[in-house]
Homo-oligomer: A and B are copies of this chain.
Amino acid sequence: MRVTREQAAQNRERIVETAARVFREKGFDGIGVADLMKTAGLTHGGFYGHFASKEALLGEAAGRALDGAGDEWRARMAAHPDDPLGAVVRAYLSPAHRDNPGIGCAMSALGADIARAGPVVRDAVTERARAQFALLAQAAPGDSGEERRARAIATYAAMIGAMVLARTVSDPALSEEILAAVAQSLDGSGR
């Protein structure tokens, strides 16, 4: 039954990645530890050798998901030096993102769950939020660092709210209208 130290580390990794996806898809309470481990190809009892609790996993999974978003944003910004912020905004506010929460923004998919979690989870997420603000601020317009930072925060908030709204409404036309309206409002020329 026992596996190599390296295999154990890979198993832990797969649990985190699986949780990062499934928590975003179903919510923190939407899947139990047993089903989560089965999805990762492991058994229920093995979980507690890797994590102190299900909530401890939430902190790692949310952190992992947000780090991934940061990497993606950085790449997109580098690929669009003419309009880095616009490139991030357009990808974020796409129907593809709306329809695939499991690989999307953890803040819009898990924000409420994280807000109700303990300090370890919230601290881990706060650290990533700071990093994302700083990253978006690099691409945001403004005459000073403070202005660019404020613009970055406001842009991120609008994206998150748009995604929550677009996923909530049941009318596809209304959902697209929400994404388009917010994308337009965040367009540099539009403000």
Contacts and interface: CB of A to CB of B under 8 A. Distances in A.
Given A111-B112, A164-B108, A168-B126, A184 B29 contact: no
Interface in A9-27: 26-27
A109 interface: yes
Contact of A170 (B29, B126, B180): B126
Interface string A95-114: 00000000000011111111
A42 interface: no
A110, A177, A182 interface centre (most CB from chain B within 10 Å): A182
Q: How large is the interface on A (under 10, 10 to 19, 20 to 34, 35 or more residues)?
A: 35 or more
Interface stretch (A33-41, A44-52, A78-86, A146-154): A146-154
Contacts of A182: 153-154, 157-158
B125 A153 contact: no
